[in-house]
A and B are shown apart, each in its own frame.
Chain A
Amino acid sequence: DSGVTQTPKHLITATGQRVTLRCSPRSGDLSVYWYQQSLDQGLQFLIQYYNGEERAKGNILERFSAQQFPDLHSELNLSSLELGDSALYFCASSPSGIWYETQYFGPGTRLLVL
């Protein structure tokens, strides 16, 4: 158990809909990262937050957005969903978000868009 929690575990929705994925980091970690793992691609970095502020951006679509709240939990919002958005979404956390730290991953949310 990494100490990172993600809800929900599974999500099934329809194209065009909007969903919110939630992540609670390990106790004491200030930085949160979001990743997408689809079948034909490996883990793709989406976005990083540190203490409520966006820190780094990866291959995140404009239809996706994220935020980190004062209690340090984070939410990833996916809107206008397409079939290709079906994937595993992982959240990870680290203490300070600096480049040589280890990231600890949650169990993931499996999203299926029908």
Chain B
Amino acid sequence: DQQVKQNSPSLSVQEGRISILNCDYTNSMFDYFLWYKKYPAEGPTFLISISSIKDKNEDGRFTVFLNKSAKHLSLHIVPSQPGDSAVYFCAASEENQGAQKLVFGQGTRLTINP
């Protein structure tokens, strides 16, 4: 029972274009969402987050959109750069007696082609 799903295992984008990574979730109690980027042999690195009270959060080249009614979030990277090539994980959490249990998707491998 996967509560957070990233249906595209991989994505290939031309340098300079927009990369759009998608994530769907099933648990309507999730109210905080994060995107992490992971390079080989390293731990996940935090990119950007969004609270369920917002529908958009922007940080430089990265924008996360949240559609609560569709239980869908997406990460837009524009313009895409070769250094963006990595595996991207979306994660979700719900308030659980004050504690945080992050549930991760399976990841999408993004490749930026020069």
Contact = CB atoms under 8 A, between A and B. Distances in A.
B100 A99 contact: yes
Given A43-B44, A105-B43, A105-B44, A100 B99 contact: no
Contact of A58 (B34, B44, B101, B107): B101
Contacts of B45: 2, 105
Interface residues of A, number: 28
A57 B91 CA distance: 17
B32 A99 contact: yes
Nearest to B5: A42
Given A2-B45, A105-B44, A107-B42, A99 B105 contact: no
**Residues of B in contact with A, size category:** 20 to 34
Contacts, number: 76
A86 interface: no
Interface in A76-114: 90, 92, 94, 97-108
A90 B44 contact: yes
Across the A-B interface, the 7 shortest Cβ-Cβ residue pairs: A105-B43, A56-B99, A43-B104, A99-B100, A99-B95, A42-B106, A55-B99
Grouping DSSP codes into helix (H, G, I), strand (E, B) and loop, the B interface class, with mixed when no group exceeds half, is strand
Interface of A: 2, 4, 33, 41-45, 48, 50, 55-56, 58, 90, 92, 94, 97-108
B85 interface: no
B18 interface: no
A108 B43 contact: yes
Contacts of B42: 107-108
20 contacts: A2-B45, A42-B106, A43-B91, A43-B104, A45-B101, A45-B102, A45-B104, A56-B97, A56-B101, A58-B101, A97-B98, A98-B98, A98-B100, A99-B32, A99-B100, A100-B51, A101-B100, A105-B43, A106-B43, A108-B43
